[in-house]
Amino acid sequence: MVKKVKSKPEEDIENIKEDIRDIRNRIEKIMGDTHNINRILTLRDREVIKQDLINLIGNSTKKATILHVTADYIERSQIAKTIGVDKRNLNKFLKPILEKGYISEMKSGRKKLFKRSEILDLIGFEKIEEFAKLIEEWEEGKSDS
């Protein structure tokens, strides 16, 4: 059996591939650690986050609903349709939430998708009385139309 001897460029490529695998593994570990730290801080600061959301949302069923419907990725036009506003006026409600980092924006081709931050899930957003009432108002209004 003849063993193929790798040339120097082939060895370099294999070394680079191995280095890239190591870097990816380290990044995954850092991401996991960062995620855990974020979870701990969120749970610790739950009341501060809740108060910040109360200040941000106020009595706006539209803002509360935006946070509710962005539990999964959703298109900008679908958010506007869901909360009952013209797409051109959506920024009035969406921008303050984006600026606070409670929703992130992602482009997928020509579409803009939005998804809420995990922080909202960790604090139990829909179960917090102030927000549950606003979401319920929106759902009741939706069923009336």
Q: How confident is the model at residue 10 (pLDDT cuts 50, 70, 90)?
A: confident
Domain count, the chain: 1
Q: Which residues pair with 113 in a beta bridge?
A: 75, 106
Helix (H, G, I), strand (E, B) or coil at 31: helix
Asked if residue 61 belongs to a domain, the reply is yes
Asked if residue 37 belongs to a domain, the reply is no
Residue 43: predicted pLDDT:
83
Residue 144: predicted pLDDT:
52
DSSP E strands, the chain = 74-75, 103-108, 111-116
Residue 139 CA to residue 142 CA, distance in Å, equals: 5
Please report, for the domain that includes residue 125, its CATH number.
1.10.10.10
| pLDDT at 121 exceeding the cut of 60 | yes
Helix (H, G, I), strand (E, B) or coil at 116: strand
Average pLDDT, integer, range 95-124: 93
Residue 24 CA to residue 26 CA, distance in Å, equals: 5
Residue 42: predicted pLDDT:
85
Residue 133: predicted pLDDT:
96
Residue 100 structure tokens: 């606070």
Residue 99 CA to residue 107 CA, distance in Å, equals: 17
Asked if residue 112 belongs to a domain, the reply is yes
Asked if residue 1 belongs to a domain, the reply is no
Average pLDDT, integer, range 68-96: 95
| pLDDT at 4 exceeding the cut of 90 | no
Residue 74 structure tokens: 């959703």
* pTM for the structure as a whole: 0.75
Asked if residue 39 belongs to a domain, the reply is no
Boundaries of domain holding 59 = 45-144
Asked if residue 64 belongs to a domain, the reply is yes
Q: How confident is the model at residue 143 (pLDDT cuts 50, 70, 90)?
A: low
pLDDT tens digits, one per residue of 28-37: 999 989 888 8
